[in-house]
């Protein structure tokens, strides 16, 4: 495939022509692997920290990338409840893997963050200093559509209310999002049944769809913002041809029907809201280790706690924030003891929050169907099955 370099003006012009020709409102293009590499180099030259998928320690993790070579070319993933394994692919695809144990919250809402420090002067005076400092300007490459939705959910939680988490808000404002649509959903994926899908519909600067055929290895690109258009203009790209576009859209559309799992088609908000006394929680509690892995890997789980750290002089103190989990016994501690001591109540809190009370608190579900919690649960607890059991129990109760 021949890729020619365009000046900004011409590429804009062609993109517009294309747009008119297909009566679509968005600009599209095609880039190849070299174009992807140029994208990373351009972003780096712009002072951005580029984060994307790469193979490390037997998993696809998210890490800083300096070239497209670091992407997981030729790697796929084999998933199941409590199971994750890298597998070789013969087609050399770079985005045919499913979500790994990390999500973008690792960068937008980091595991540990220093919030402020306090000095005590000789006269007892208190000086408090904001310690968040300047935040990195990220570019995320390969954001899955489920994770785009997860980011939008965390936006509402951490920056959409009366108070904003300043650190999060600043990192988020500075972040450029390059989505990678899904053509190879994993066995634990169920985004479609959570009203999402393998196509990126909003919230990206550029969206890529990987296409591999005898015509070559290339990426169909859709532009989602002015920033995305500027970026595309700066790298070698071509006008999108019919074949690439058709294969891209077709691949994503097929993926929609190949989800590994599905959430039962019930009103989750109502079901979970009505099930606090369900017997299923006891069964679940007998299997759950309350390890909190599911909350760590979940891209929307946002809970944190704070730590107070003092130095030896005793006149300097720091306030740190770190991820916390509702599975932790201390999470609900009030003077006299924890509110949620049983595994039953802690798992119920997590699942009910995700699927029901999240709507009350933040106006949407807290689950995007990425499947991470299913994959990374050491005992293979699968929330789609738990919901099916809760629904069956409820139906049985209604029938009586």
Ligand X SMILES: Cc1cc2nc3c(=O)[nH]c(=O)nc-3n(C[C@H](O)[C@H](O)[C@H](O)COP(=O)(O)OP(=O)(O)OC[C@H]3O[C@@H](n4cnc5c(N)ncnc54)[C@H](O)[C@@H]3O)c2cc1C
Q: Name the site residues for ligand X (rule: CB under 6 A).
A: 333-335
Nearer to ligand SF4, 259 or 377 (CB): 377
Q: Which stretch binds other proteins (CB under 8 A): 17-25, 42-50, 242-250, 308-316?
A: 308-316
**138 is in the binding site of which of other proteins, ligand X, ligand SF4, none (Cβ under 5 to 8 A by kind)?**
none
Q: Which two tokens stand for residue 304?
A: 């944190």
CA–CA separation, 85 vs 278, rounded Å? 35
For the chain, how big is the Rg over CA atoms in Å?
23
170 CB-near residues (< 8 Å, 6+ apart) = 132, 135
**332 is in the binding site of which of other proteins, ligand X, ligand SF4, none (Cβ under 5 to 8 A by kind)?**
other proteins
H-only helix segments in 6-75: 8-22, 33-45
Does 326 participate in binding other proteins (rule CB under 8 A)? yes
Question: Is 111:104 a contact under the CB 8 Å cutoff?
Answer: no
For residues 324-383, which are near ligand SF4 according to CB under 6 A? 327, 354, 367-373, 377-379, 381
Does 306 participate in binding other proteins (rule CB under 8 A)? yes
Nearer to other proteins, 111 or 342 (CB): 342
CA–CA separation, 36 vs 350, rounded Å? 39
**378 is in the binding site of which of ligand SF4, other proteins, ligand X, none (Cβ under 5 to 8 A by kind)?**
ligand SF4
CA–CA separation, 199 vs 327, rounded Å? 33
The site map against ligand SF4 for 283-302 (x = CB under 6 A) is -----xxxxxxx--xxxx--
H helix count then E strand count, the chain: 14, 15
Closest by CA to 296, choosing from 194, 373, 190, is: 373
Chain residues that interact with other proteins, rule: CB under 8 A: 115-116, 118, 120, 124-128, 130, 157-158, 161-167, 276-277, 302-306, 308, 310, 314, 317, 319, 321, 324, 326, 331-335, 339-342, 344-345, 349, 352-353, 356-357, 360-361
């Amino acid at each position: 495939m021949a890729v020619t370099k365009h000046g900004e003006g011409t590429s804009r012009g062609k993109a517009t022509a294309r747009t008119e020709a297909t009566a679509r409102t968005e600009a599209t293009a095609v880039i190849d692997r070299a174009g992807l590499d140029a994208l990373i180099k351009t972003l780096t030259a712009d002072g951005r920290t580029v984060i994307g998928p790469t193979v490390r320690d037997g998993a696809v993790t998210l890490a800083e990338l300096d070239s497209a070579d670091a992407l997981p070319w030729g790697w796929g993933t084999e998933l199941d409840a409590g199971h994750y394994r890298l597998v070789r692919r013969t087609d050399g695809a770079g985005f045919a893997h499913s979500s790994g144990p990390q999500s973008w919250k690792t960068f937008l809402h980091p595991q540990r963050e220093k919030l402020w420090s306090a000095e005590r002067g000789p006269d007892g005076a208190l000086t408090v200093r904001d310690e968040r400092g300047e935040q990195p300007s990220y570019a995320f490459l390969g954001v899955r559509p489920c994770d785009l939705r997860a980011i939008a959910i965390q936006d509402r939680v951490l920056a959409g209310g009366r108070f904003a988490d300043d650190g999060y808000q600043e990192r988020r404002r500075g972040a450029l999002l390059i989505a990678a649509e899904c053509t190879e959903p994993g066995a634990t994926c169920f985004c479609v049944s959570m009203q999402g899908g393998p196509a990126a519909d909003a919230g990206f600067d550029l969206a890529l769809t990987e296409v591999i055929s005898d015509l070559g290895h290339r990426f169909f690109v859709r532009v989602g913002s002015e920033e995305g258009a500027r970026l595309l203009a700066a790298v070698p790209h071509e006008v999108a041809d019919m074949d690439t576009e058709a294969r891209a859209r077709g691949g994503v559309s097929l993926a929609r029907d190949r989800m590994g799992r599905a959430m039962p088609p019930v009103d989750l908000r109502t079901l979970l809201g009505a099930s606090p006394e369900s017997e299923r929680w006891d069964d679940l509690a007998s299997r759950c280790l309350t390890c909190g892995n599911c909350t760590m890997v979940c891209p929307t789980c946002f809970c944190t706690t704070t730590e107070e750290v003092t130095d030896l002089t005793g006149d300097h103190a720091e306030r740190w924030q770190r991820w916390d989990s509702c599975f932790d016994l201390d999470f609900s501690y009030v003077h006299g003891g924890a509110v949620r001591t049983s595994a039953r109540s802690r798992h119920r809190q997590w699942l009910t929050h995700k699927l029901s009370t999240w709507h009350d608190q933040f106006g949407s579900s807290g689950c995007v169907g990425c499947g991470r919690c299913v994959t990374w649960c050491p005992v293979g607890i699968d929330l789609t099955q738990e919901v099916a059991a809760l629904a069956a129990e409820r139906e049985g109760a209604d029938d009586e």
